[in-house]
Chain A
Amino acid sequence: MSQRTRRWTTLTFALGALALVLALTAGRAVANPLPQAGVSNESCLQCHADPSVTLKLEDGSTVSMYIDQAVFDNSIHGKLGYACVQCHTNLDGYPHPEFSALDRRDLSLALYDACFKCHSGQYERTLDSVHERALESGNRQAAICTDCHGAHDTQQLTDPQTDKLLPEARLHIPITCAKCHNAIYGKYLTSVHGNALVNENNRDVPTCIDCHGVHNIEDPTTARFRLLSPEICAKCHTDPSIMDKYGISTDVLNTYVADFHGTTVTIFEKVSPDAPTNKAVCYDCHGVHDIQSISDPQSGLEFRENLLKRCQVCHPDATANFSSAWLSHYIPSPQHNPLVYYVNLFYSIFIPGLLSGMGVLVVLDVSWQIRRRRAASRANKEPSESPPAPEAPSPGSAPEGGASHEASSDGENHRAGGEQL
């Protein structure tokens, strides 16, 4: 490698590192940059406050170019005093540069990457999302920033101090997703979570994004999502600060992992999270979007016949008894699953007892053997004390069958044997 190429390589690396630092810091650069407009919003509104302004698109349709100032002023960007041209950066005068789009959707797709300028962090996370993949594969309806957040009426959703979702935004989320996923929204509303959110304004229940994520929404139909899904439910269901209010056990994950299905599911979590599994995960029994309370009279799993129906989905020949093989998330106790409790109790006494009993006998035996060997080595030094050779039986009297003869040529011990011919 020549000196010059090396210098170029170093320079490229330095520039790359600089770009990386800039890219990483850019994501956080949202906090109130002062509006610095070349062109004031008033100038834009001279034309765009007129409801009759339209743009003709290539498919022959027209799209209104009217901006309702009240709506914009009520949006987060309006409130903070941002200028139109901070998003519409190519429009710094009149006449506007030539702009064309195939249709209304094409227009949105052409303009939405303006968000990237300030919200690059969120924008980049969407690049990993199932929506982005759908977009890439040609589905133009897949959600882009403005489909969820709106364009000129964007609302504040998180607390700028804590970065946490604002309480009033929680209600807004399922409605947003419902714009496309309406059937699932319908199911969600019937679920114990959706019902509590909408009818009781409960702030603890999950909305769509608590399970699916926000910008990097994962494909929920993959083997990986299925295998790791118990962790999603466990986020809230192992947290006593949420569950205690409702008297819900926080042992649901432990007990699931300890039982048949969870055992197999969790084996692969670390080593091969992409492994497909047909073992039941939380939502196979409790439902996906239509999750019901276990005490629901229609489908609550507290009732054996409802539980059995769930068992039979995978175990078609299961009988009523079979459903009680599942411990229902209880830790075995004399009240719940006494058989398991007493078997466990037996072995928790039996195994340590066995271990210590055998341990004592073996240790005693070892110590005895050591003493015997010491005694034997002392005796070897004084051969006169060695015991006399045992009396050898005569060949004629040897029992047949039960005992037999075997010969070996053993030089050292030949005197001990009686059969010298």
Chain B
Amino acid sequence: MSANETTLATARSGRVRTERTFVRFNLVQRWEHALFLLTFTVLLLTGLPQKYRTATWSQYILATPERLETIRQIHHVAAVLLIMLALYHVGRAVVRLFQRRLSGEMLPVTQDLRDGFKMLRWLLFIDREKPSFGKFSFEQKFTYWFFIFGTAIMILSGLLIWFPVLFTRVLPGGIIPAAKLAHSAEAIAAAIFVIMWHSYHVHIERLNLSIFTGRLSEKEMREYHAREYERLIGESDSPPDGEPE
């Protein structure tokens, strides 16, 4: 595909710059993100009015028992989708782990802590050199693991308050109001996280659409993932292993 475009563009204009791009996310990962984005948004939009039920705006949304029932049903449908997505994500990782094909690039390592300190020093103008990162920077790993744990808490607490009679057959009753509280508070933590942290890093700091396109440009690779870039360039003599994980 790329080669063809190169030829066509060359024939037309004669002024061509080729830009190398690097595959960052595969199709499955891009779909996972899209589905997560969708369910997260729906869950947040249908959940927040229920949390802030005493506020006037929320009471006009909830308004009648029928409306509330509809909102809860939408919330439950989105929740089921999210649960399926989470099971798929974890299941795929487990399968790949047993196949010994699971790449460890998302695992937090001590280097991430060092990177974090370096980043702070650089932001405070103590260091002149910006730290260089591998395929996933410590910020990106933090984002990933925040969502992994957050989603786990939301799914578990959500199921507890959805089926309280079922769960209290084995669990103590106090876990139900605790789950309600955790569900409500964790949702706010996640919302703050998405708005302040995630949307800042992928929209405001720089527009990073690689999760949708699947690719990063060479310039971005050099600037934000220098270690990974050097690794790939270094490996370029020998063929790199298949799709990234």
Binding site for B on A (CB under 8 A): 259-260, 263-264, 266-268, 270-272, 275-277, 315, 317-319, 321-327, 332, 337-340, 343-344, 347, 350-351, 354-355, 358-359, 361-362, 364-366, 368-369, 390, 393, 395, 397-411, 413-414, 416-421
Q: Which residues of B contact A395 (CB under 8 A)?
A: 18
- Given A321-B169, A364-B123, A401-B23, A407-B192 contact (CB < 8 Å): no
In the assembled complex, how far is the CB of residue B215 from the closest CB belonging to chain A, in whole angstroms?
A: 8
In the assembled complex, how far is the CB of residue A216 from the closest CB belonging to chain B, in whole angstroms?
A: 27
Q: Indicate with 1 or 0, residue by residue over B212-245, a CB within 8 angstroms of chain A CB atoms.
A: 0001001000100000000011011101111110
A365 to B196, CA, bound (A): 12
Q: Which residues of B contact A355 (CB under 8 A)?
A: 192, 196
- Given A351-B188, A408-B19, A401-B240 contact (CB < 8 Å): yes
Instruction: Establish whether residues A399 and B240, one from each chain, have CB atoms under 8 Å apart when the complex forms.
Output: yes
Instruction: Establish whether residues A354 and B189, one from each chain, have CB atoms under 8 Å apart when the complex forms.
Output: yes
Q: Indicate with 1 or 0, residue by residue over B6-40, a CB within 8 angstroms of chain A CB atoms.
A: 10011011011111111100000000000000000
Can you list 20 A-B pairs, Cβ within 8 angstroms, ordered by A?
A264-B68, A268-B63, A271-B62, A272-B63, A321-B173, A323-B173, A325-B164, A325-B168, A338-B174, A361-B123, A399-B235, A402-B235, A404-B215, A407-B9, A408-B19, A409-B15, A416-B17, A417-B19, A419-B16, A420-B15
- Given A266-B53, A277-B65, A403-B23, A321-B5 contact (CB < 8 Å): no
Instruction: Establish whether residues B236 and A398, one from each chain, have CB atoms under 8 Å apart when the complex forms.
Output: yes
Binding site for A on B (CB under 8 A): 2-3, 5-6, 9-10, 12-13, 15-23, 53-54, 56, 59-60, 62-65, 68, 120, 122-124, 164-165, 168-178, 180-182, 185-186, 188-189, 192-193, 196-197, 200, 204-205, 215, 218, 222, 232-233, 235-237, 239-244
- Given A263-B53, A403-B232, A405-B2, A421-B68 contact (CB < 8 Å): no
Q: Which residues of A contact B243 (CB under 8 A)?
A: 401
Majority SS of interface residues in chain B? helix
Q: Which residues of A contact B170 (CB under 8 A)?
A: 321
Q: Which residues of A contact B218 (CB under 8 A)?
A: 403
Q: Which residues of A contact B204 (CB under 8 A)?
A: 366
A277 to B10, CA, bound (A): 71
Instruction: Establish whether residues A267 and B174, one from each chain, have CB atoms under 8 Å apart when the complex forms.
Output: no
- Given A322-B173, A365-B123, A344-B181 contact (CB < 8 Å): yes
Instruction: Establish whether residues A343 and B65, one from each chain, have CB atoms under 8 Å apart when the complex forms.
Output: no
Known: A337-B177, A403-B236. 12 other contacts (CB 8 A): A268-B62, A270-B59, A321-B172, A326-B173, A361-B120, A397-B237, A403-B20, A403-B240, A404-B23, A409-B15, A409-B17, A419-B18
Taking CB as reference atom, which chain A residue is nearest B62? Answer: A267
- Given A347-B182, A405-B3, A414-B173 contact (CB < 8 Å): no
A114 to B169, CA, bound (A): 65
Q: Which residues of A contact B176 (CB under 8 A)?
A: 322, 325
Contact of A404 among B21, B62, B122, B123 (CB under 8 A): B21
A410 to B13, CA, bound (A): 10
